[in-house]
Structure 1
Amino acid sequence: MGVEEIVLLNAEDEAVGTAPKAESHHRDTPYHLAFSCYVVDTEGRVLITQRALGKRTFPGVWTGSCCGHPGPGEGLRGAVIRRLRDELGLLDESLESLTPVLPGFHYRAVADDGTVEHERCPVVRATVPAGTSVRANRAEVEAAEWWTWKECLDLVDRPESSPWYRLQLAELAPLGEPRDWPDAGTAPLPPALGW
């Protein structure tokens, strides 16, 4: 397997190059393309995960279902499906829908060790049937649990939540229950990222 690369962005969210992912996250992480995904089942529960304790950046924090970095030339939909499979064992055929809900989301956060995340990070909802099983990849995910929306909202006030989770929930909470989040469409996605 080759070296995983991230897509570097300028201030207009246009691709300006690539860089190896493993070497790019440090105290001066360049602005780059990413995504977050919230898996919601047909009963309205949300899959919340704890990042593996061995992760280089933000180990052990609790956050949404999965996140990742679209590779060069990879669309958002393909990147989400790839990471859902690799991190959680969710197969394409188990997904009822993928919906962009916060296509304009971006953030910058600094970990306790000084490592910076600086991402244009569209947020997507993946809908699955109730009872869908998850097989967490322990290199990526320490724990994966189905939570009620109230439990998700309560996590915002806990220090073990990720900084991007807290920022995303500030925008997602006003949209109502996760099953009701409106489709924001693909037009607001960054120029560097197709659907």
Structure 2
Amino acid sequence: MHCSFLIGPLIQSTMSEARPELLGYDQEQIKMMEEACILVDKEDNILGKDTKVNCHLGEGKLHRAFSVLLFNNSGKLLIQKRASEKITFPSIWANSCCSHPLHIDSEVNGIDGAKTAAKRKMEQELGIEPDEIKLEQLNYITKMVYKARADEKWVEHELDYIFAIKCDLDINPNIIEIEETKYVNLEELDSLFEDKKAEIGPWFKLIKENFLNDIWKALDNLGEIGDNKIHYMGNYE
């Protein structure tokens, strides 16, 4: 018992010492950067796996991600401001929940695996209890490939599965992950995007520019608007 208590901090310390680019960051965030992402080609064929830190460092490696758009029954979209402790894209506004399927048996199987990952992260980030949401409530919309730099060190290069759900859910945001949340209508979201002081995640900008209006119009039939396409967005500045 005493040994296991001491080993945890030692392992986390070793991670940051072994990876100097992680020095100074929150220990919980460092731990998550060692998770195994799913490497893919631009057709979404699995090529292997690598750590989250390697996938986001330098020029990055193309890997699977997901983005959830959670609407309440009044038709407002939940958005979040990422915590300042986040290693990539800290303190920026993003969609309801976004992260990565991991290279584990339950999350490698395409859409179903990405849904499983989304449910896991909605619990971890937003505090949504697992029995509050069923996988079939997550409506698959489409996929997009994009690349965007956070800064000279970190980058996103993702094949992003986009999901939408309309449901009233109780949330209890994890302060290590999320600084602020709010529900917005389209007009309020437009105002946020027009605010030059507001920093917006590039993937969220792409979703809004290319898909969000159609999703918002189809809130009562989200299961009917998905496609089998992969949208190639290129480098996003």
Tell me the equivalent position of 1:18: 49
Matches within 5 A, 1:1-195: 3-72=34-103, 73=105, 74=107, 75-95=113-133, 97-101=137-141, 103-129=142-168, 132-158=169-195, 159-175=198-214, 177=216, 179-180=219-220, 182-183=222-223, 184-185=225-226, 187-188=228-229
Q: Provide the TM-score with structure 2 as the length reference.
A: 0.71
Instruction: Name segments (4+ residues, structure 1) moved above 3 Å.
Output: 180-189
Q: Provide the TM-score with structure 1 as the length reference.
A: 0.85
* Length, aligned pairs only: 187
RMSD: 2.4
Structure 2 residue runs of 5 or longer lacking an equivalent are 1-30, 108-112, 231-237
Tell me which protein shows more helix as a share of its residues. Answer: 2
CA deviation digits over 1:72-130, x for unaligned, max 9?
231011111001000001123333721112x222211111344210000011012222x
CA deviation digits over 1:130-149, x for unaligned, max 9?
xx321111111111111122
Shift of 1:22: 3.0
Identity percentage of aligned residues: 28
Of structures 1 and 2, the larger Rg is shown by 2
CA pair 14-115 structure 1, distance change in 2 beyond 3 A = same
Equivalent position amino acid for 2:156 in 1? E
In structure 2, how many angstroms separate the alpha carbons of the residues matched to 1:153 and 1:176?
15
Structure 1 residue runs of 5 or longer lacking an equivalent are 190-195
